[in-house]
Amino acid sequence: MSFKKTAETLEPGAKTLSRKYYTDPIILDQEYENIFQNNWLPVARAADLDEQGTFKTFEIAGESIIVLKDDKNNLRAFYNVCRHRGTRVCVQPEGRFSKSIQCGYHGWTYDLNGNLIGAPHMDAVNDFRKLDYPLHPISVDQWNGFICINLADNPAPLHDIFSSLTERFSQWRIDELEVAEHKMYQVNCNWKVIIQNYCECYHCPIIHPDLTEIHNYMGGRNDMHSGPYLGGYMNFNDNIESITHSGKLSCPPIKGLKEENLARVYYYSIFPNFLISLHPEYVMAHSVWPESVNRSRIDCFWLFSKGIAQSNKYKIEDAINFWKMTNLQDWEICERSQLGIQSKKYKPAPYSGQESLLAAYDKYYLSQLNA
């Protein structure tokens, strides 16, 4: 891996996106169709569905999705649409099906593999065959303990798409980590404002003075600076062990990390909406979901080694609460940014050298939006 200073990879003449990309509902519909319905998206941790019949539902890109464990404990995903008259089959956000899924309108019933097994009085309809009316399937897979779905009809395999990331992240054993905290935020801004905010620390001295005490905002070194995956590392300042309120490790480091990774944090964005931060003793992950042109939902997970969260020996809240504070600082400035972008006087302006990853994100975003 070859790392470059953040400013070294800024494309000459790069400017911010124009106003319409943050305010136009037509653009959002285009994003749903060309981006969110054509990429692998993280929706949950594998541990969230730990038994046969357990399920969760999600609202993604204008679609309602059911993800479940079938009768053989395999992951399945389906559009939440009855094949009879389109009624949503499942109205609960999560739970457990016994052995079947029944639509609450006319009683059409499906097994956990999505096959139609019951359709009252339809045997009187000429040429009706249950096998012709399964729930519409969705591609689903796991990566590093995250359940991911893809709404495209024939997507490339998840592990092929993420192969370049798997080796980079392998030392952190993310698939073995446990969720110590999960928090959902609602933020009044376009989803891309949040992604772009994550991809730079140009704002850190003003918005995050405590974070600036931990690492130098000018010290970013990136090994991925174009395409769908962007990011790199920042070294900790002297006498800093991790990103916590105390600056000390909140628990023992993740086993197997190289010495150099005990003195830095890695930040990566995974197109379109996944943000992952790799610390010496924990991993933090955000997924960002558009709800309208100026409203977003953010799911945030803090992941620690097995048993850490249940132990009274460690102070993991020192890390979790630091990022809760930092998140709120970010959400406030993102909302203020959205308000300004909505003005008719907002015009694209040049990116600074510390915002080279934003320019790279924009370039890839536009290529996918207009694909």
Domain ranges within the chain, ordered by starting residue: 4-35+165-369, 41-150
Q: What is the pLDDT of residue 114?
A: 98
CATH, range 41-150: 2.102.10.10
Rounded (5°) CA angle 143-356-42: 20
Phi-psi region of 364 (alpha: psi -120 to 50; beta: other; left: phi over 0): alpha
CATH topology of domain 4-35+165-369: Naphthalene 1,2-dioxygenase Alpha Subunit; Chain A, domain 1 (3.90.380)
Tokens of 348: 């694209």
List own/partner pairs for 162-165 with CB under 8 A and 24 or more apart. 162/40, 162/270, 164/229, 165/229, 165/268, 165/270
What is the Cα–Cα distance from 206 to 92, expressed in whole angstroms?
A: 42
Q: For residue 23, give every residue at least 6 positions away whose Cβ sits within 8 Å of its Cβ, in sequence order, or none.
A: 190, 293, 294, 341, 342
DSSP string, 55-120: EEEEEETTEEEEEEE-TTS-EEEEES--TTT---S--SSEEE-SSEEE-TTT--EEETTS-EEE-T
Residues of the chain with confidence (pLDDT) below 70: 1
Is the preceding peptide bond at 272 cis, omega within 30 degrees of 0?
yes
Tokens of 329: 């600082």
Sheet holding 100-102, edge to edge: 100-102, 109-111, 116-118
Q: What is the pLDDT of residue 278?
A: 98
Positive or negative: CA dihedral 19, 23, 24, 27: positive
Q: What is the pLDDT of residue 213?
A: 97
pLDDT, tens digit, for every residue of 189-201? 999 999 999 999 9
Q: What is the pLDDT of residue 371?
A: 86
Length of the chain: 371
